[in-house]
Structure 1
Amino acid sequence: MFKAINFLNHLKLTTNQLVVYSCVYITFVLNLPFLSKTMAEVFVLESYSLFFLISVPIFLLALSIFIQCLLSFRWLTKPLLILMVLLSSIILYSTVTYGIIFDYGMIQNTVETDKAEALSYFNFSAIMFFVSFGVIPSVFIAKIQLTYRSFVGELFARIKLLSGCASVILLILTVFYSSYASVGRNNRDLVGYLTPYAVIDSTVKYVRQNYLYPPLKFTLLDTSPTISHSDSTKSVTVLVLGETARSQSFSLNGYEKPTNARTEELGVVSFQDVSSCGTATAISVPCMFSRLKKENYDKRVAIAQQNVIDLIYLAGADVFWISNNNGSCKGVCSRVKTKQVSPNSNNPLCDGEYCFDEVLVEELRKRLYSVTTDHTLIVLHMIGSHGPTYYRRYPENRRTFLHDCRRSDIQNCTHEELVNTYNNTIAYTDLVLSEIINELETLSDDRSIKTSMIYVSDYGESLGESGVYLHGLPYAFAPQEQIKVPLIYWGDKLHHQAKLVCLNSIKEQPISHDNIFDILLGEMDVNSKMYQPMNNPFNQCAFDISLAKTTS
Structure 2
Amino acid sequence: MLSKIRFFLKKEVDADLFSLFYSLFNLIYNIPLFIFAAKNLDFHSYGGYASFIGLFLAQISFVYIFLTVFSFIPSLLKIISSILFLSNSVALYFVCEYNAVLDKTMMGNVFNTNTGEAGELIGYKFFIYIFFLGIIPSLSVLALNIKKTSVIRKIYLLISIVLAISVFAYLNSKTWLWFDKNSKKIGGLTMPFSYIGNTMRYFSEKAALNKVPVKLPDASFENKDKTTVILVIGESARSSNFSLYGYPRITNAYLKNDSVVALPNARSLSTYTTESVAFMLSHLGSQKTKIFYEPLPSYLQRQGINVFWFSNNWGEPKLDVSYYKKASKLREECGAACGNQNYDSLMIRGLKEELNKNQSSDNFMVFHLTGSHGPLYSSKYPAEFEVFKPACKSVDLQKCSSQELINAYDNTILYTDYFLHEVISFLRSIKKMSSVMIYISDHGESLGEYGFYLHGAPYSMAPDFQKNIPFIVWMSDEFKKRRKISDSDFKEIKNLSQDNIFHSVMGAFLMKSPVYEKSKDIFAKR
Q: Secondary structure at the match of 1:380?
A: strand
Match of 1:285 in 2: 277
> Which structure 2 residues correspond to residues 82-481 of structure 1 after superposition, within 5 A?
111=104, 157-159=144-146, 163=147, 166-171=148-153, 206=201, 209-211=204-206, 215-222=210-217, 224-229=218-223, 233-297=225-289, 301-302=291-292, 305-325=293-313, 328-332=315-319, 334-341=320-327, 342=329, 343-346=331-334, 350-352=338-340, 354-410=341-397, 412-443=399-430, 447-481=431-465
Deviation at 1:437, TM superposition (A): 1.1
Q: 1:146 to 1:430 in 2, by over 3 A?
A: closer
Q: Secondary structure at the match of 1:244?
A: coil
Match of 1:506 in 2: 492
User: What is the CA–CA distance in structure 1 between the aligned matches of 2:141 and 2:354, rounded to whole Å?
Assistant: 71
Structure 2 residues not aligned, in runs of 5+: 1-6, 28-52, 96-102, 107-128, 171-189
Match of 2:23 in 1: 23
- Counterpart residue type for residue 219 of structure 1: V
Q: Secondary structure at the match of 1:378?
A: strand
Give the CA RMSD over aligned residues.
4.7
Q: TM-score, normalised by structure 2?
A: 0.66
Deviation at 1:217, TM superposition (A): 3.8
Structure 1 residues not aligned, in runs of 5+: 1-12, 36-55, 88-109, 114-140, 542-552
Deviation at 1:426, TM superposition (A): 0.8
Q: 1:145 to 1:493 in 2, by over 3 A?
A: closer
User: What is the CA–CA distance in structure 1 between the aligned matches of 2:349 and 2:136, rounded to whole Å?
Assistant: 68
Q: Is the 8 A contact 1:274 1:486 kept in 2?
A: yes
Q: Is the 8 A contact 1:317 1:373 kept in 2?
A: no
Q: Is the 8 A contact 1:293 1:514 kept in 2?
A: yes
Q: 1:250 to 1:157 in 2, by over 3 A?
A: same
Q: 1:156 to 1:279 in 2, by over 3 A?
A: same
Q: Deviation per CA, 1:8-57, whole angstroms, max 9, x where unpaired?
A: xxxxx97978864453699996586799xxxxxxxxxxxxxxxxxxxx99
- Choose from 74, 77, 80 the match for 1:71: 80
Deviation at 1:494, TM superposition (A): 4.9
Q: TM-score, normalised by structure 1?
A: 0.64
Q: Deviation per CA, 1:80-133, whole angstroms, max 9, x where unpaired?
A: 59989xx9xxxxxxxxxxxxxxxxxxxxxx8599xxxxxxxxxxxxxxxxxxxx
- The number of residues matched between the two structures is 427
Q: Secondary structure at the match of 1:63?
A: helix
- Choose from 480, 491, 512 the match for 1:496: 480
User: What is the CA–CA distance in structure 2 between the aligned matches of 1:202 and 1:429, rounded to whole Å?
Assistant: 34
Q: 1:356 to 1:201 in 2, by over 3 A?
A: closer
Deviation at 1:233, TM superposition (A): 4.8
Match of 2:49 in 1: none
Q: Deviation per CA, 1:259-291, whole angstroms, max 9, x where unpaired?
A: 112101222111222233433332222331112
- Counterpart residue type for residue 332 of structure 2: N
Q: Is the 8 A contact 1:349 1:359 kept in 2?
A: no
Q: Secondary structure at the match of 2:486?
A: helix
Moved more, 384-393 or 420-429: 384-393
User: What is the CA–CA distance in structure 1 between the aligned matches of 2:240 and 2:207, rounded to whole Å?
Assistant: 41
Q: Secondary structure at the match of 1:238?
A: strand
Deviation at 1:399, TM superposition (A): 0.9
Deviation at 1:146, TM superposition (A): 12
Q: Is the 8 A contact 1:273 1:511 kept in 2?
A: yes
- Identical aligned pairs, as a percentage? 26
